[in-house]
């Protein structure tokens, strides 16, 4: 088993006990969602649900099962998994498989509408309820025959919309359902060690590590699906050190003297190293996730309404009925996407790259006539609605930083260029400029790697399946005909995996034209490098 990444080259100072990232994580049982939007007037960890040791991942395993009052939901999800329900558009689906799926769907339709009021006092229970209901809903929708309209039964519609309203999340599968709140220990800590114990040593021993994770829920029960989720979970955990570097840099930015500039430069170089480590973790998904299994058997379960190949609207049964007058039909129904990772958004915002990567022109769609939709929010901005609300609040507060890093670097570089002629030594602010550009360059490399993974896991298999369907051979082929925009930047071994130029664009689970969107974000990130 591979070891976890090494610590950063430049060690960080210890966090002060009073610092916002050192404050204890909130007790989910005491949280009341009706209290309102998280307070963003302070940088307290209990407002943002960010942990010093695990970042956006919870430091304890998410709830594995709801209390007995909601056992019907848990049973329905467990049965869908144990019965290995198949995609409704799976080629060669047998009559027995169709009948098995329909029997399960009938049980979902017959299930009573369970109340949700008693879930409201527990954040962990609300998260588990959203997870279970979203998975049941996706099992239901994507096991339907392609010719059938999507009508979500009231037994799912009503509780799912209520739970989602409390969490301020769309009623659809999200990255947090698949990754942040879909894990447990691979090897549980000693029975004598309890998460949340008073002992610091016991608490640290119970913290999840990169290679001591397993997933809770799966559509296919395949190793490839597990690895797909765990790859993202490892990136989230490894990215915790990046959040600490952001904190240290922001502290020094308020001082802005020569010593602070030198420290910021060191922190940014360490940040570049960490982002490169995240890139390496991203590429390691290839070791355990088979591209054709992912594309043909796993990915279709993720699709939301806006990425459905059938293109039909989802109908929510029970809306408008007595007792449901307060519920509205949802308008945001994209599937889970890496674009919903708060960690990657935080890197963008901290480095000031978000004004480029989140540009309103990067919707990932084209309007009639080929013009980009500039009136719509960017895809990455829209994906923030799919993040846990505390994490959205974190990004909002980070965006409101009164001393933005990029502005500080630009100002320092301008000041240094004016005084360089009279200074006998290299001004420390020029070191900041080089270190900042190194961090941005590492983020661009991360996005290059993401393009490579998309080429390998989506565009290549899609191209091979299209070729095979044309000759009637099944999902085989050599994937020839790489898209020229990715051929120039993806690793050579994956060039043949990219869709052929001129084909209909392959959609992401978030509904984007993948080639157009990824190229746009990558190029805008590269464009954020400052002139030296």
DSSP 221-267: --HHHHHHHHHHHHHHHHTHHHHHHHHHHHHHHTT-SHHHHHHHHHH
Q: Which residues pair with 493 in a beta bridge?
A: none
Would you state the pLDDT for residue 174?
97
- Residue in this structure with the two tokens 């009052």, named with its chain if needed: 69
Question: CA 102 to CA 113: how far, in whole Å?
Answer: 20
Question: CA 388 to CA 214: how far, in whole Å?
Answer: 21
Would you state the pLDDT for residue 13?
45
What is the residue-level pLDDT of the chain in tens, covering all 532 positions?
A: 444 444 444 444 444 444 444 444 444 333 333 333 444 334 445 569 999 999 999 999 999 999 999 999 999 999 999 999 999 999 999 999 999 999 999 999 999 999 999 999 999 999 999 999 999 999 999 999 998 999 999 999 999 999 999 999 999 999 999 999 999 999 988 766 555 555 555 567 789 999 999 999 999 999 999 999 999 999 999 999 999 999 999 999 999 888 999 999 999 999 999 999 999 999 999 999 999 999 999 999 999 998 776 567 899 999 988 888 899 999 879 999 999 999 999 999 999 998 765 444 544 444 333 433 444 567 778 899 999 999 999 999 999 988 999 999 998 887 766 555 555 555 556 699 999 999 999 999 999 999 999 999 998 998 888 887 776 654 443 333 333 333 344 444 334 444 343 444 555 544 456 677 677 777 788 778 888 7
Q: Does domain 255-285+337-526 have CATH number 1.10.287?
A: no
Phi first, then psi, for residue 372 (nearest 5°) are -75, 145
Would you state the pLDDT for residue 29?
37
Query: What residue segments make up the domains of the chain, in order of their start?
Result: 50-238+289-333, 255-285+337-526
DSSP 501: T
CA separation, residue 421 to residues 374, 408, 415, 428, 530 (Å): 45, 21, 11, 14, 21
Q: Which residues contact 218 (CB under 8 A, 6 or more apart)?
A: 81, 225, 226
- Residue in this structure with the two tokens 């144990």, named with its chain if needed: 82
Closest to 371 (Cα-Cα) out of 380, 363, 359: 363
Would you state the pLDDT for residue 424?
53
Q: Which two tokens stand for residue 22?
A: 């050192």
Opening angle at CA 250, ends 244 and 255, nearest 5: 135
Q: Which two tokens stand for residue 72?
A: 């019907």
Q: Do residues 54 and 208 touch, judged by C-beta distance below 8 A?
A: yes
Residue 450 annotated as part of some ligand binding site: yes
- The helix (H) or strand (E) run that includes residue 101 is helix 95-110
């Amino acid at each position: 088993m591979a070891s976890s990444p090494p610590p950063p080259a430049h060690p960080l100072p210890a966090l002060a006990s009073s610092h916002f990232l050192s404050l204890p994580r909130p007790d989910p049982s005491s949280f009341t969602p009706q209290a309102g939007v998280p307070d963003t007037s302070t940088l307290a960890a209990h407002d943002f649900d960010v942990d010093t040791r695990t970042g956006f991942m919870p430091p304890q395993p998410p709830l594995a099962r709801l209390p007995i009052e909601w056992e019907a939901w848990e049973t329905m999800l467990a049965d869908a998994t144990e019965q290995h329900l198949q995609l409704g558009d799976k080629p060669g689906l047998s009559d027995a498989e169709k009948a098995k799926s329909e029997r399960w769907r009938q049980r979902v339709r017959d299930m009573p509408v369970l109340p949700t009021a008693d879930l409201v006092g527990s954040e962990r229970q609300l998260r588990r309820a959203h997870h279970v209901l979203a998975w049941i809903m996706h099992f239901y929708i994507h096991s339907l025959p392609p010719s059938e309209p999507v009508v979500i039964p009231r037994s799912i519609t009503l509780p799912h919309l209520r739970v989602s309203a409390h969490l301020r999340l769309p009623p659809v599968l999200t990255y947090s359902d698949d990754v942040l709140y879909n894990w447990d220990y691979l090897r549980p800590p000693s029975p004598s060690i309890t998460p949340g114990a008073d002992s610091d040593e016991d608490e640290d021993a119970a913290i999840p590590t990169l290679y001591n994770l397993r997933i809770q829920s799966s559509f296919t029960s395949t190793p490839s699906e597990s690895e797909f989720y765990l790859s993202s979970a490892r990136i989230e955990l490894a990215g915790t050190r990046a959040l600490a570097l952001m904190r240290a840099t922001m502290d020094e930015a308020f001082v802005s003297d020569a010593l602070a500039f030198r420290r910021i430069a060191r922190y940014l170089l360490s940040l570049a190293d960490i982002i490169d480590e995240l890139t390496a973790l991203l590429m390691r998904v290839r070791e355990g996730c088979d591209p054709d299994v992912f594309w043909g058997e796993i990915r279709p379960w993720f699709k939301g309404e806006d990425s459905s190949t059938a293109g039909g609207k989802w109908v929510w049964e029970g809306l408008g009925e007595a007792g449901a007058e307060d519920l509205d039909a949802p308008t945001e129904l994209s599937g889970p996407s890496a674009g919903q990772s708060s960690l990657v958004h935080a890197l963008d915002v901290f480095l000031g790259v978000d004004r480029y990567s989140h540009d309103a022109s990067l919707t990932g769609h084209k309007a009639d006539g080929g013009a980009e939709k500039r009136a719509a929010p960017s895809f990455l901005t829209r994906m923030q609605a799919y993040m846990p609300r505390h994490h959205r609040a974190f990004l909002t507060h980070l965006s409101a930083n009164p001393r933005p890093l990029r502005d500080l670097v630009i100002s320092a570089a301008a000041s240094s260029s004016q005084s360089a002629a009279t200074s006998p030594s290299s001004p420390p602010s020029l070191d900041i400029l080089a270190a900042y550009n190194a961090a941005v360059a590492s983020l661009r490399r991360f996005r290059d790697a993401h393009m490579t993974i998309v080429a390998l896991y989506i565009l290549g298999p899609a191209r091979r399946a299209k070729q095979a369907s044309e000759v009637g051979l099944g999902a085989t082929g050599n994937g020839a005909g790489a898209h020229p925009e990715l051929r120039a930047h993806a690793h050579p071994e994956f060039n043949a995996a990219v869709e052929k130029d001129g084909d209909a664009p392959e959609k992401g689970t978030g509904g984007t034209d993948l080639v157009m969107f990824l190229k746009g974000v990558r190029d805008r990130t590269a464009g954020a490098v400052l002139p030296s």
